[in-house]
Structure 1
């Protein structure tokens, strides 16, 4: 069985400022860990996450659900300026697709 700590969304990258690798975890934005190697940074952060989860459980705080286990409806509402709405509608018409399909296509390229 995979532990909860392993299910979170980790990212490790080189920090020129710190001259070390930095690991972060999306579900706990205030946590990070520095290490001389990427694996050391991630290992350190996973240990911290484990300790934080233990403390949260002891104090009755809700523990964040990993993004990989969250369910999404595929719908969200977005308020935009009317001028942008018009430009998007016109671009969708030029492409011969619905506004929804056009915006979904544009959003699909976001990293």
Structure 2
């Protein structure tokens, strides 16, 4: 089945896609500098030494990615909308892991749900603004 976010080939001009705002995820690189990726555009990523340079580099990467896909006649996904996510999903885990998570949550004085959200946030860097920044990339590149 076709992804609903995809637009049929040739339906819109390239300029339409270039104007779309795609969410960009920026991480501090372990070796220094920054690494950014656009999840909605598979393989679209960039590296830079500073955040200012990062914005310019990911914008260049986005444009090149879109131009290449468009010229090759490939479908281009639309940016994901945060409303596409309900905030709920089901995860099946072994009984032993379920028990361990529940025990830790009880020891911490929080619900199992709160503990799992905290653990997932920690692992994905969502609770540390220094190491991960996520938002719509709306900044224009330097002229």
Q: Deviations along 1:26-80, whole A, 9 cap, x unmatched?
A: 2222234678954553342122133146348x65x3x323245452111111122
Q: Is 1:54 the equivalent of 2:67?
A: no
**Unaligned 5+ runs, structure 2:** 1-17, 126-143
Q: 1:105 to 1:30 in 2, by over 3 A?
A: closer
Q: Is 1:64 the equivalent of 2:53?
A: no
Normalised by the size of structure 1, how large is the TM-score?
Answer: 0.61
Q: Distance in 2 between matches of 1:98 and 1:80?
A: 17
2:57 is matched with: 41
1:105 is matched with: 118
Correspondent of 1:80 among 63, 79, 93: 93
Superposition CA RMSD, Å? 3.6
Higher helix proportion, which one?
1
**Unaligned 5+ runs, structure 1:** none
2:22 is matched with: 7
Tell me which structure has the larger Cα radius of gyration. Answer: 1
| Larger RCO, structures 1/2 (Cα 8 Å, 6+ apart) | 2
Task: Provide the secondary structure at the position in 1 that maps to 2:84.
Answer: coil
Q: 1:84 to 1:12 in 2, by over 3 A?
A: closer
